[in-house]
Amino acid sequence: MKASVFDYGAGNLHSLSRSLTEVGLTVQVETDAANAVRGSDILVLPGVGAFGQAADRIGEARSILRDALRSGHPCLGICLGMQLFFATSEEGEGTGIGLLEGNVTRLAGRRVPHIGWTRVDDLGEMYFAHTYACRPADPTVVTAWTSHEGEKFAAMIRTSRTIGVQFHPEKSSRLGLALLARLCREVTS
């Protein structure tokens, strides 16, 4: 299976690419959205950085990505990559892909950013590093929840063949790698 990691200038490309390779995917890093979609079995949107800057960098690719995901091209969005499925975020100006209705809001906890290991429903302990969380308008797209300092938020979402995770499976040890492999298989089958 071939994965295109879309390099929009705000991602953890090296560790993510290494992890995808480790779970059996052939990986290419692509800066052109059309090529990333066309040349892959699964598109991966990495995630480290700020929403506004990432949205600006996506720019013209926004409609290419939205159309591809709406037409069923498999995609995995990680952390900021998942947040970019939404049109807006409190984190900054700019327009995300706009695939999902809802918003991305700042966590309300005393200790923000939320960094470290946190239990995700039945998935186990996953590694988080974020200040903002997705709030889908349709709660049925949420497939796993977690909480930080008592605040519940979406840890994983799915719509059609698009899956987003707020945590970093590539940094979540063996359990995270197993989940990464499973999610890639699920979304492409």
Instruction: Please report which residue ranges of 23-172 form alpha helices under DSSP H.
Output: 33-38, 51-58, 61-70, 80-83
Based on the residue annotation, tell me whether 79 is a catalytic residue of this protein: yes
Chain centre distance of CA 13: 13
Based on the residue annotation, tell me whether 91 is a catalytic residue of this protein: no
| b/e map 75-86, b = 16+ CB within 10 Å | bbbbbbbbbbbb
DSSP annotation string for 71-111: TT--EEEETHHHHTTBS-BTTBSS-----BSEEEEE--SSS
Q: Of the residues 73, 130, 148, 168, which is catalytic? A: 168
Q: Of the residues 30, 73, 75, 79, which is catalytic? A: 79
Residues with catalytic roles: 79, 168, 170
